[in-house]
Amino acid sequence: MSVIEVDGLRKDYRIVKKDEGVMGSLKSLIRPRYETREAVRGLSFSIREGESVAFLGANGAGKSTTIKMLTGIMRPGAGSVRILGEDPFQKRMENAKRIGVVFGQKTQLWWDIPVVETFRLLRSIYEIPEETYERNMKEFGEILGLTDFLSQPARKLSLGERVRADLAAALLHEPPILFLDEPTIGLDVAVKQRIYTFLKKINRERKTTILLTSHDLNDLESLCRRLIILERGEILFDDGMEKVFERFGEELTLEQIVIRIFEGGNPGKNPQPRTAKSAREAGRPKGGRI
């Protein structure tokens, strides 16, 4: 059974185009010129229950945009998204109950109150039954090692502690689907290890469907069975993790393959040399910071 269905998904951003220099900035202040940048250009894929899928792509390839559309906070430009049969943007609140989301660079913890208070708040908001809450707190507490800092406010946590707490917060209501956008960014090896062990366990024991973006290739390789590679908003590769080696070269490591893809389009098949300028253009769209 497919839990995520994506068909012809597109998204354009409108960005302000500035000319160089003082005059250029003034001109854009008075009459901003906009240009559109295609962030996602027609993605189609479906993910079955219990799958663990890695989303891979250079910075600005459209991974985060896709995740935002899947979670329902961003309206798709065109095409359709179905999460457990429903449109996440139209039914954002219903959808929110059935997904868990972790953004490595953002937090849902309340800044000034103890972490455990955020957890209690989530228990009420998601209407989590008492015994489920207790069981999960116990289990997450053990595997992620939360007990030491539960009574600390979020602002006092280290990055590793914060991400672990955020991960637990996203899973308290036992969502069938979990989205992770660079959850291990900036973390030390030990914490990374802990998080991936935890994700593996959740995926195996609870059949939680996991969709994750990351640049930690070794960890992705051990966690995810399936790999989707995005390149400039399009799917370049979508198949089992082992197939990537068959296609791009058995003798290479995943890292080598990825470097080739990021640097020069499609390795192995028809490598197209790219200038530094076009590589820059494929970079992250500028504009709002949200």
CB of 121 to other proteins, least distance (A): 5
Structure-block tokens of residue 68: 């935002």
d(CA 59, CA 57): 7
Taking Cα atoms as reference points, which of 150, 199, 212, 147 lies closest to residue 171? 199
In the set 93, 130, 205, 275, which binds other proteins (CB under 8 A)?
A: 93
Pick the binder of other proteins from 49, 86, 94, 139 (CB under 8 A).
94
Alpha helices per DSSP H over 32-188: 63-71, 92-98, 115-125, 130-144, 159-171
Residue 3 beta carbon to other proteins: minimum distance, rounded to whole angstroms: 17
Q: Can residue 280 be called a binding residue for other proteins (CB under 8 A)?
A: no
Question: Which of 3, 53, 72, 229 forms a contact with other proteins (CB under 8 A)?
Answer: 72
By the rule CB under 8 A, 1 interacts with other proteins: no
3-state SS class at 134: helix
Residue where the block lists tokens 């663990």: 52
- Cα distances from 220 to residues 3, 208, 259, 263, in angstroms, run 21, 16, 15, 20
Instruction: Work out whether the CA dihedral 68, 205, 108, 127 comes out positive or negative.
Output: positive
Write the interaction track for other proteins spanning residues 9-48; mark x where CB under 8 A is met and - where it is not: --x-xxx-----------------------x---------
> Please, which residue, 87 or 117, has the CB nearer to other proteins?
117
Q: Which stretch binds other proteins (CB under 8 A): 44-52, 71-79, 130-138, 225-233?
A: 71-79
- 73 touching other proteins, by CB under 8 A: yes
112: CB partners within 8 A, 6+ apart: 153, 154, 155
- Among the listed ranges 123-131, 219-227, 234-242, 266-274, the one in contact with other proteins (CB under 8 A) is 123-131
**Contacting positions for other proteins (CB under 8 A):** 11, 13-15, 39, 64-65, 68, 71-75, 92-94, 96-97, 99, 101, 103, 105-108, 110-113, 117-118, 120-121, 123-127, 153, 284-290
